[in-house]
């Protein structure tokens, strides 16, 4: 019997590499599958990066880019690559800024920001890593 191992929780997959400068600057470069963050703040998400879209808002074009980058930063926090107490607030601010840049009304972008500030902490927690699941059932 052949088994597979996979992780759930994703709705979207990046079809081409995306890179953007940010103010989130780690002490050393971080390179994991699909995410590369340099000490100057440049983040690159490679083709195949998967994310779940906007957790507390409709998946509209004005939130997709921001939600993708935000999810990448939260993933780095969950994996212990970035300190949540240092980088969570700037990541949330970047989400708001990107939403506004992409055409979201400022009041809605502020609501998104306040939502992730109030309710997003657990999503950045190291206890919230998506588990690896195996299939078929006999592979468990």
d(CA 112, CA 107): 9
d(CA 11, CA 102): 20
- Return the DSSP state at 23: S
pTM of the predicted structure, to 2 decimals? 0.90
16-74 per-position pLDDT tens digit: 999 999 999 999 999 999 999 999 999 999 999 999 998 878 899 999 999 999 999 99
Nearest to 29 by CA among 10, 15, 42: 42
d(CA 8, CA 123): 15
Nearest to 95 by CA among 117, 78, 125, 118: 117
d(CA 55, CA 2): 34
Long-range contacts of 24-30 (CB under 8 A, 24+ apart): 24/73, 24/82, 24/87, 24/90, 24/91, 24/94, 26/81, 26/82, 30/76, 30/81, 30/82
| Domain boundaries along the sequence of the chain | 4-134
Provide the token pair at 36. Answer: 């590369």
64-118 per-position pLDDT tens digit: 999 999 999 999 999 999 999 999 999 999 999 999 999 999 999 999 999 999 9
């Amino acid at each position: 019997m052949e088994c597979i191992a996979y992780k759930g929780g994703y709705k979207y997959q990046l079809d081409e590499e995306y890179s953007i400068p940010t103010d989130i600057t780690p002490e050393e470069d971080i390179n994991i599958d699909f995410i590369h963050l340099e000490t100057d703040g440049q983040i690159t998400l490679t083709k195949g990066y998967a994310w779940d879209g906007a957790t507390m808002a409709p998946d509209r074009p004005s939130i997709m880019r921001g939600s993708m980058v935000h999810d990448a930063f939260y993933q780095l926090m969950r994996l212990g690559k970035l300190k949540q107490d240092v980088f969570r607030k700037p990541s949330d601010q970047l989400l708001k800024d990107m939403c506004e840049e992409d055409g979201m009304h400022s009041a809605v972008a502020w609501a998104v920001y306040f939502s992730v500030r109030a309710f997003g902490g657990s999503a950045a927690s190291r206890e919230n890593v998506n588990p690896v699941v195996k299939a078929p059932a006999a592979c468990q």
